[in-house]
Amino acid sequence: IGVVGGGRGSSFVNGGANGSGGRVPLQMGTLSKAIGAYGGYLCASKPVIDLIRTRCRTLIYSTALPPGTVAAAIAALDLIRDDPEYAALPLKKAKDFTAMLGLADAESPIVPIVLGDTQRTLDASKTLEDEGFLVIAIRPPTVPDGTARLRVTFTAAHDDDDIARLAERIKPLIIDAP
């Protein structure tokens, strides 16, 4: 599962333990990106899970996820399992988008477009919103000074024509970026 697919995750893409073939005693993941819910999960041996249940303060003093959120996550997992081609669409759409812009091949369905200047990035986000695109501006302190960016996030439901139109609107911003 995950935005990269195939159970590899970003650790695999970035050459981490999963990518090197090493055994991972504890695997942690989020339900917020590929799954579209919130919360997370841990996979480990029973002794490790038992230790976490009795010693991990952040688990002991937190509450369980709402049943509706858990049901939504399970339904999303069912979709991913039952239709892997559909689950692969967000990454394919991101790759198509970066190809339209002449950028490096996307590694995930979340594509950063670094514009640098914070105000310019906020203005670009607002202009795109006025044209019907929800493209969030990410700025300091979330990212280092001088690296403000637009975050473009793709889903399987995004229309190819809309993606092409977005690429045409963003292309001039990239050309003018420092």
Residue range 85-176, CATH number: 3.90.1150.10
How many whole angstroms separate alpha carbon 10 and alpha carbon 3? 8
Residue 128 near residue 173 (C-beta atoms within 8 A): no
pTM attached to this predicted model:
0.72
Burial class (CB in 10 A: 0-12, 13-18, 19+), 122: middle
Report, as an integer, the average pLDDT of 99-118. 95
DSSP letter at 89? Answer: H
Does the pLDDT of residue 101 top 90, yes or no?
yes
Would you say residue 146 has pLDDT above 60? yes
What pLDDT is attached to residue 41?
A: 86
Residues 6+ apart with CB under 8 A from 16: 10
Spans of all domains in the chain = 9-82, 85-176
User: In this model, does residue 67 exceed pLDDT 60?
Assistant: yes
Indicate the pLDDT class of residue 21, thresholds 50, 70 and 90.
low
Alpha carbons 170 and 137: distance in angstroms, whole number: 13
